[in-house]
Amino acid sequence: MRALIVLLCLLALSPVVAAEEAESGNVLIDVVLPLSLAFIMFSLGLGLTIADFQRVVDEPKVFAVGLLNQMVVLPIVGFALATAFGLSGELAVGLVILACCPGGVTSNIVTRFARGDTALSISYTAVVSVASVVTLPLIVVFAIDHFMGAAAPDLDILSLGLAMFAITAVPVGLGMLVRAKAADTALGFEPKANLIAGVLFVIIVIGALASEWDTFVENLPKLGPSVVVLNMLMLGIGYGSAMLLDLGTKRATTVAIESGIQNATVGITIGSLILAAEGSGLSVYSLPSGVYGIMMYFVTMPFVWWRIQQAEE
């Protein structure tokens, strides 16, 4: 069964490898980055079942709140903050890319620590991860036109959508297939897969910041606060909206975390798909997601601590 898992991992990654072989490019951007994201999404799929998607029908009110926050409010806030902080065109687009990203394994883990509804968190992540294959490219194209105008790079929305599908939806589906065919083995492998995914995430974030270090330092006074405010606002909006609709503190905690924590690896990868930087670096479009990948822990930890204290009282 372990051999099957390895085989499915390779199948999940094969669309990206094939694309890389078709054109020359640096290894970090064309191979390591998309393969890492594909494995991270595969690890997410190992924890999913069809029942996680069924909750959309079973609990429409709960899902409506979370999906509205993630797929409508969050991108709007991203646009507003990029404008309010006066970010340059590429960084503004990068912030919107981040705002359009789904949650990931990290949001599920943080929800568990914060005494939230982990099953609901997993369901949110599953649905938004699939939906973002369509929504993210559409919003990003609009953002590029809005913030960059005539300076906007040429972007094929269909190609971007297909690339997202290959490195997000396909690996998630294969992970679910492994879970369905061999649940015990998948559950046994899942902690190791999550650990590997976490290490890959750290490497990707460090690579994104290091490759654009001068740009990062130059724009930190604006970029840092914009990312922190995005995180804080969405945690507050998520929790407040859920409490307003009487979902209870446990589910409100889940909605807050799912609204406030995005999959930075997706943002970094999409930024590099839009326009790879020269040399061995990552795209400047990826920089907001790279900064967010570090800052989100410092912003989210106080919220998690507060929810733990409230749950223990």
Question: Whose CA is closest to 126, among 172, 189, 71, 65?
Answer: 172
- Which tokens in the block code for residue 32? 């390591």
d(CA 295, CA 33): 20
> Contact at 8 Å (CB) between 114 and 238?
no
Residue 123: alpha-carbon gap to chain centroid: 15
d(CA 290, CA 109): 20
d(CA 181, CA 5): 11
- What is the residue-level pLDDT of the chain in tens, covering all 313 positions? 444 444 444 444 444 443 444 344 456 566 677 777 788 788 878 877 887 777 777 788 888 898 899 999 999 999 999 999 988 888 999 999 999 988 777 788 888 888 888 888 888 888 888 888 888 888 988 999 899 887 777 777 777 788 878 878 888 888 888 888 887 877 787 777 777 777 777 777 776 677 667 777 777 788 889 999 999 999 999 999 999 999 889 999 999 999 988 888 888 888 887 765 444 456 788 888 888 888 888 888 899 899 888 876 6
Instruction: Kindly give the interhelix angle for 60-68 and 118-148, rounded to the nearest 10 degrees.
Output: 30
- Which tokens in the block code for residue 55? 């909750």
Residue 239's pLDDT is 94
- Which tokens in the block code for residue 293? 């990948």
Which domains occur in the chain, in start order? 2-16+25-307 (1.20.1530.20)
Residue 15's pLDDT is 43
Question: Whose CA is closest to 262, among 41, 99, 110?
Answer: 99
Single-letter residue type at 172 = V
Residue 260: alpha-carbon gap to chain centroid: 11
Distances (CA, A) of 86 to 225, 228, 266, 285: 12, 15, 24, 15
Question: Whose CA is closest to 178, among 42, 17, 53?
Answer: 42
d(CA 313, CA 46): 34
Phi-psi domain of 112 (left: phi exceeds 0; alpha: psi -120 through 50; beta: other): alpha
H or E element at residue 157: helix 157-164
Kindly report whether the global pTM for this prediction surpasses the value 0.75.
Answer: yes
d(CA 54, CA 67): 15
Residue 133: alpha-carbon gap to chain centroid: 11
In the block, residue with structure tokens 């330092």: 217
d(CA 189, CA 187): 5
Residue 116's pLDDT is 87
In the block, residue with structure tokens 């509804």: 117
Question: Whose CA is closest to 143, among 70, 83, 199?
Answer: 83
